[in-house]
């Protein structure tokens, strides 16, 4: 056994991801690198967002920043869900969210999208992954790679920028279903190539971010979301890395998510984990409300313990229900990590008081 597989076998995060009911819940936080950390803001003051993403040294450094402060169980590569799209010929800026120069609405635009070879997609991401793995060698910290789910990428490409409800995109799906499927097919193939590349470079788990899946009803999700997510996950089966799916505001979709061929489903704070387990056989990830981290430590302890108790019925990876909020005090994150690591999931007393 080489050193990397020895570590793989013992990482608390990977054990829980593969379904083990571990004595402690491993934890990492979505957006654990980012604007609430002064050291991130210092780098951001001298570089554009694309520079940070496209310079392997910077991306690796930002990925590692939260790990230097907090004993988290996983790192997530610093990048963005929009990273692989310029290789298709789409122009994207960040302000601070993604803005697409020419939103895709017409057949000719969708036909013109290139399907790049794997090595053309984002070679700097592979390099950043290699750098992070080198820094983490010998430490019990797993590196998570990620991509946007096809439906969520299409949401930005068609709508053109962030929006509260993405009405233009929702209308497009109904008005131009064949075009939408054409776009989703291309995005699915791109995502498969991109994630395989990340795994080859050293990502030890991958997460598919379907942040806007919850906008849709079951019928729309069954047609435009589920089959493409299934295709991405199926293409990554047997590669030895656990697959994580995240949707936000999507509790009405849980019965359908049971059909996803992945190991972990990340859930938001709107539904307690013990209720979600009735629908999903997966390891559950989540689901503290990120707003709790704005409250004083005593509140954080109480709310985190509720989540931990609610997660006792099966394998659990502790996380927030969505990303860390920009105004979160870093010392509140430190406190949360301590509360989660001190909680013994195998203590019988927990269940009695749950
Ligand atoms: O989780 C992490 O720590 C890794 C880094 C990461 C970023 N984006 C960095 C980033 C990840 C995993 C993403 C994924 C991403 N990007 C998603 C899915 C996750 C989610 O939050 O639902 C989405 C929807 C995007 C699109 C995006 N990129 C938005 C909406 C924004 C702007 C506002 C925001 O929420 O931060 C971005 C820019 C972006 N991506 C920033 C960071 C740290 C902020 C850039 C800055 O102003 O410093």
Q: Is the pLDDT of residue 5 over 50?
A: no
| CA-nearest residue, atom 32 of ligand 1 | 97
Q: Measure the CA angle with vertex 234, ends 112 and 26; round to 5°.
A: 115
Q: State the distance from the centre of ligand 1 to the C-alpha of 1, rounded, in angstroms.
A: 37
Q: Is the CB of 15 under 6 A from ligand 1?
A: no
| Centroid of ligand 1 to alpha carbon of 40 (angstroms) | 13
- 7-16, 235-244, 270-279: which range is least confident on average? 7-16
Q: Is the pLDDT of residue 32 over 60?
A: yes
Taking 60 as the threshold, does the pLDDT of residue 354 lie above it?
Answer: no
Of 28, 30, 34, 166, best ligand 1 pocket probe by most atoms within 8 Å of the beta carbon: 34
DSSP for residue 323:
P
Closest Cα to atom 11, ligand 1: which residue?
A: 80
Beta bridge partners, 317, equal 285
Instruction: Provide the token pair at 300.
Output: 């954080």
Determine the average pLDDT of the residues in 95-123: 96
Instruction: Pick the closest to residue 6 from 14, 118, 74 (CA basis).
Output: 14
**pLDDT band for position 46 (50/70/90)?**
very high
Asked if residue 7 has its Cβ within 6 Å of ligand 1, the reply is no
Mean pLDDT (the chain, rounded): 95
| pLDDT value at residue 10 | 75
Q: Which domains does the chain have, with CATH numbers?
A: 4-352 (3.20.20.210)
**Whole-angstrom Cα distance, residue 348 to residue 19?**
20
Of 273, 200, 193, 209, which is closest to residue 244 (Cα–Cα)?
209
List beta partners, residue 206: 145, 243
Q: What does the alpha-carbon distance between residue 258 and residue 268 come to, in Å, rounded to a whole number?
A: 16
323 lines ligand 1 (CB under 6 A): yes
Q: 98 C-alpha to center of ligand 1: Å?
A: 9
Which of 35, 36, 81 should be mutated for ligand 1, with most atoms under 8 A from CB? 81
Residue 140 has pLDDT above 80, yes or no: yes
- Residue 9: which pLDDT band, with cuts at 50, 70 and 90? low
For 287-297, the pLDDT digits (tens) are: 999 999 999 99
- pLDDT confidence of residue 2: 37
Using a 6 Å cutoff on CB, does residue 32 contact ligand 1?
A: yes
Residue identifier of the C-alpha nearest atom 27 of ligand 1: 97
User: Is the distance from the beta carbon of residue 155 to the nearest atom of ligand 1 less than 6 Å?
Assistant: no
CA of 146 to the centre of ligand 1 (A): 12
Residues in Cβ contact with 300 at an 8 Å cutoff, skipping those fewer than 6 apart: 292, 293, 332, 335, 336, 339
CA of 128 relative to ligand 1 center, distance in Å: 17
129, 198 Cβ separation under 8 angstroms? yes
List the 74-76 sheet strands across, edge first: 74-76, 142-148, 205-210, 243-247, 264-266, 283-288, 316-320
From the CB of 145, is ligand 1 less than 6 Å away?
Answer: no
Percentage, residues of the chain above pLDDT 70: 96
Contact status, residue 158 vs residue 103, Cβ threshold 8 Å: yes
Q: 279-327: per-residue pLDDT in tens?
A: 999 999 999 999 999 999 999 999 999 999 999 999 999 999 999 999 9
What residues does 286 pair with on adjacent strands? 318
- Residue 324 has a CB neighbour count (10 Å cut-off) of 22
| Residues 267/285, Cβ–Cβ less than 8 Å | yes
Residue 85 pLDDT level (bands cut at 50, 70, 90): very high
Q: What is the mean pLDDT of residues 86-114?
A: 97
- Mutational pocket test of ligand 1: of 28, 59, 67, 96, the residue with most ligand atoms within 8 Å of the beta carbon: 96
Beta strand residue intervals within the chain, DSSP E = 74-76, 92-94, 98-100, 142-148, 205-210, 243-247, 264-266, 283-288, 316-320
Residue 353 has pLDDT above 70, yes or no: no
Residues 84-111: what's their mean pLDDT?
97
Atom of ligand 1 nearest to the CA of 207: 12
Q: How confident is the model at residue 348 (pLDDT cuts 50, 70, 90)?
A: confident
Neighbours of 22 (CB within 10 A): 19
Distance 84 CA to ligand 1 centre (A): 14
Closest to 267 (Cα-Cα) out of 248, 280, 283, 252: 248
Atom of ligand 1 minimally distant from the CA of 32:
3
- How does pLDDT run across 150-183, given as a tens digit for each residue? 999 999 999 999 888 999 999 999 999 999 999 9
Question: Which atom, in ligand 1's list, is nearest to the CA of 30?
Answer: 1
Distance 80 CA to ligand 1 centre (A): 6
* Ligand 1: residue whose CA is nearest its atom 1: 31
In whole angstroms, what is the distance from residue 351 CA to residue 354 CA?
A: 5
Please report the pLDDT score of residue 352 as a whole number. 59
């Amino acid at each position: 056994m080489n050193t990397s597989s020895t570590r793989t076998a013992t990482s608390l995060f990977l054990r829980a991801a593969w379904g083990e009911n571990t004595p402690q819940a491993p934890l990492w936080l979505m957006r654990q690198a980012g604007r609430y950390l002064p050291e991130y803001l210092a780098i951001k003051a001298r570089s554009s967002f694309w520079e940070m993403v496209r310079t392997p040294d910077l991306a690796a450094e930002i990925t590692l920043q939260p790990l230097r402060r907090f004993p988290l169980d996983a790192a997530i590569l610093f990048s963005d869900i929009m990273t692989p799209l310029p290789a298709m010929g789409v122009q994207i800026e960040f302000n601070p969210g993604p803005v697409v120069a020419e939103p895709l609405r017409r057949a000719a635009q969708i036909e013109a999208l290139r399907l790049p070879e794997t090595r053309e997609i984002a070679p700097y991401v592979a390099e950043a992954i290699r750098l992070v793995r080198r820094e983490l060698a010998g430490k019990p910290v797993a590196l998570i790679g990620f991509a946007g789910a096809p439906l969520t990428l299409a949401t930005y490409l068609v709508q053109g920028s962030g929006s509260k409800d993405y009405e233009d995109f929702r209308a497009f799906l109904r008005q131009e279903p064949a075009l939408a499927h054409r776009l989703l097919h291309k995005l699915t193939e791109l995502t498969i190539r991109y994630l395989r590349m990340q795994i080859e470079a050293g990502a030890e788990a991958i997460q598919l971010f379907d942040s806007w899946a919850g906008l849709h009803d079951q019928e729309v999700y069954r047609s435009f979301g589920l089959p493409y997510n299934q295709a991405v996950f199926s293409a990554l089966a047997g590669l030895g890395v656990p697959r994580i799916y995240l949707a936000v505001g999507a509790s009405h979709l849980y019965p359908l998510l049971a059909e996803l061929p992945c190991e972990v489903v990340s859930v938001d704070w709107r539904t307690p984990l013990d209720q979600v387990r009735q629908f999903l056989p997966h390891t559950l990830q989540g689901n503290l409300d990120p707003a709790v981290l704005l409250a004083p430590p005593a509140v954080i302890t109480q709310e985190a313990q509720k989540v931990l108790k609610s997660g006792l019925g099966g394998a659990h990876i502790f996380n927030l229900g969505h990303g860390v909020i920009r105004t979160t005090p870093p010392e509140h994150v430190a406190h949360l990590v301590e509360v989660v690591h001190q909680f013994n999931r195998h203590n019988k007393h927990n269940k009695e008081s749950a």
